[in-house]
Amino acid sequence: MNQVDRLLINLKIIASLEPYQKLNTKSGHQLVIESAWTSTSIYRWLREDTRHNTVKRIGEILEEANNILRVGASSAQEYVSDEYRGRVMSQLNNTRTGMVNLRTTYEADRTITAHFDVLLERIDTMLSSRYTITFTRDGHAVPRDLKINTMSSDDSTESTNGELSADDDGID
């Protein structure tokens, strides 16, 4: 299994979280949803699997997703096709819901919820500022880089590097 597949699996696992479920981040590369046993906290303590580890691991997963979307390569420098980039982009949107549910799990801990807020903002930035998804006729998602308009004029559709920005489709 390649690194992009592992990333997609972890994003799907995060996306499937319900409120008050926790993640096991100490099971290797793949996240695992904890069962709702009364002794789960003891096992988490024995594994040294804390909420801080959860935040750190999710941050690493989101960074890997960002690298794939931005560069088109994983951290292992594997080339990532547009189809895979589209799948990562689509899955990030679903992951946001699981992140909100995970934030609910730790809502009594303001420090951790602040961390989750930042991670949610990172997802929002990845979803809105640089990428959009277009779909091919056969339903495959393909990301398309957007150029962020940094000009001060509201009427301008040209970005600072001379390319078209997100609000200009090139048609007058």
pLDDT digits (tens, 9 = 90+) for 78-112: 677 778 888 888 899 899 999 999 999 999 999 99
Within the chain, what is the greatest distance between any pair of CA atoms? 64
Per-residue pLDDT at 146 exceeds 50: no
If one compares 122 and 44, the residue with the highest pLDDT of the two is 122
Instruction: From 168, 154, 53, 64, select the one nearest 106 (Cα to Cα).
Output: 53
Window from 2-16, 32-46, 145-159 with minimum mean pLDDT: 145-159
Handedness of CA 2, 88, 124, 108 (dihedral sign): negative
Give me the mean pLDDT over the 28-53 stretch: 75
Cut 0.75: pTM above it: no
**Per-chain mean pLDDT for the chain:** 75
pLDDT at residue 152 greater than cutoff 60: no
pLDDT attached to residue 135? 55
**CA–CA separation, 86 vs 143, rounded Å?**
5
> Among 31-40, 72-81, 107-116, which stretch is predicted with the lowest mean pLDDT?
72-81
CA dihedral 4, 85, 59, 78 (to 10 degrees): 40
Cβ–Cβ under 8 Å, residues 73 and 79: yes
